[in-house]
Structure 1
Amino acid sequence: MKNVVFLLAGVLLLSSCEKGGPLDTGQGNLTQSLAAVQSSVTNLPLESLDPAERERILFIREEEKLAYDVYQTLFDRYGVKIFQNIPNSEMSHMEAMLSIIKKYQLIDPMDKNPRGIFTDPALQSLYNALVSQGQVSLLAAYQVGAKIEELDIYDLNKSIAVTNNQDVKLVYDFLNKGSRNHLRSFYKNLTNAGGMYSPVYISLAEFTAIVTTPTEKM
């Protein structure tokens, strides 16, 4: 029965994704993709979570807030469209993680924290450093975007490796695909502006494989 439910959830998500374009191309596609993920999370079985799984879920939820907050701040600084569009996608990532948090009755680390305030001290320090770096120039801001997205990919891959829960993996895969698309977008803007970027968190092979392939359909 579990496999049947999982298959139905997968069909629902695939059907939704085939109708839309890349995740960050429009609010309609974002809403549709997020709704499909949330429906799948609801329909998949409730499974046990060990401490490592719980820790990763809460961390990823707040790490997505970091991306959202940094991009909003950089949009305020430069008014460049990419820093307005991609936060819409980051919001869908936060909402997808919230659906897992609510399902498993975890305490949301974000609560009502305003922009730039984080429960995790490491994320707080990282936010401060990234905003400072991004304020230097628009080129530096694009580099910050690329750095955030490859960090997200790195942490999502770590998170996927420590869970067997179908619903949690489904959400992580959703986030990972979006992060790969965001990395492609930032890298394109960066190189078009004459900048360069070397990966910090993921391997050069993985980075190259992402930025040299087309945008993935959500």
Structure 2
Amino acid sequence: MKLLYNFLLSFLLISCSLMQPKTVRNANLLNEKEITTITQLIGKEKIAKDVYENFYQQYKNNLFGNIAKRKQKHIDIWKNILAKQNISVDENDAVTETENLKNQFISEGIDEISALRTALKIEELNLNDIYTVRRTSSKSAIREAANGVECGTKNHLFVFYRALKEKHENYSHQYISGKKFNNIVNGAVTSCGLQYD
């Protein structure tokens, strides 16, 4: 009798765990919206990288070359989140829909001053994208990545702004609030960890 009781109890516990809603059992799986948003982030980070590499070739300003390398780190962070779900994204494929945007940014950089202003615009847009992905996901891995990439992106905004100011030129925020923008550019470079900077 005791053996039958133990068997029934075990069966009941297993059955209850299998009866959990799929949303509970698959809480770590990314939904379609998260996959799409992350794929778009990869494409936009790739645009930034390509634009900065182009500006580096034109103006030989190491700032563009160094931040282009950091953009690859951001791409890899987002790709790794998708890879954990067995989703493979080629950043070159992710950028095809926004090829016109990349060309527009490159054409805006007609001189080094214009290139720095374009870089500031790109970093502002990247911050908006990061805010969106963090706001629309409750997944800890996504939110942690967004926090780290945000830290690195703020640093990029800060150093591009300082480089422009050193040339006695100005830039007014366009895509993030004036308060957020001023807090970033009047602050300092933050240590984000090697993974994000």
Structure 1 and Structure 2 fold alike (TM over 0.5): yes
Q: Equivalent residue of 2:104, what SS?
A: helix
Unpaired runs of 5+ residues, structure 2, are 1-25, 193-197
Unpaired runs of 5+ residues, structure 1, are 1-44
Alpha-carbon distance between aligned partners in 2 of 1:208 and 1:184, rounded to the nearest angstrom = 10
Partner of 2:84: 103
1:208 aligns with 2:182: yes
Quote how far apart the aligned CAs of 1:54 are: 1.4
1:118 aligns with 2:95: yes
Q: Equivalent residue of 1:199, what SS?
A: coil
Do the aligned residues in 2 keep the contact of 1:150 with 1:183 (CA within 8 Å)?
Answer: yes
Matched positions, count: 167
Quote how far apart the aligned CAs of 1:75 are: 0.5
Alpha-carbon distance between aligned partners in 2 of 1:125 and 1:199, rounded to the nearest angstrom = 22
Quote how far apart the aligned CAs of 1:217 are: 0.6
1:128 aligns with 2:103: yes
Do the aligned residues in 2 keep the contact of 1:70 with 1:127 (CA within 8 Å)?
Answer: yes
Alpha-carbon distance between aligned partners in 2 of 1:140 and 1:126, rounded to the nearest angstrom = 16
How do 1:30-69 and structure 2 match up within 5 A?
47-69=28-50
Alpha-carbon distance between aligned partners in 2 of 1:109 and 1:138, rounded to the nearest angstrom = 30
Partner of 2:155: 181
Q: Which residue, out of 77, 80, 100, partners 2:58?
A: 77
Do the aligned residues in 2 keep the contact of 1:62 with 1:109 (CA within 8 Å)?
Answer: no
Do the aligned residues in 2 keep the contact of 1:58 with 1:109 (CA within 8 Å)?
Answer: no
- 1:122-142 alpha-carbon deviations (Å, 9 max, x no partner): x222111100001x1110000
Look at both structures and tell me which one has the larger radius of gyration over its CA atoms: 2
TM value normalised by structure 2: 0.80
Alpha-carbon distance between aligned partners in 2 of 1:153 and 1:199, rounded to the nearest angstrom = 12
Alpha-carbon distance between aligned partners in 1 of 2:75 and 2:31, rounded to the nearest angstrom = 21
TM value normalised by structure 1: 0.73
Alpha-carbon distance between aligned partners in 2 of 1:199 and 1:51, rounded to the nearest angstrom = 32
Q: Equivalent residue of 2:128, what SS?
A: helix
Alpha-carbon distance between aligned partners in 1 of 2:103 and 2:59, rounded to the nearest angstrom = 18
Give me the identity figure in percent.
Answer: 26
Higher RCO (CA < 8 A, seq sep 6+): 1
Do the aligned residues in 2 keep the contact of 1:109 with 1:119 (CA within 8 Å)?
Answer: no
Quote how far apart the aligned CAs of 1:192 are: 0.9
Quote how far apart the aligned CAs of 1:106 are: 2.2
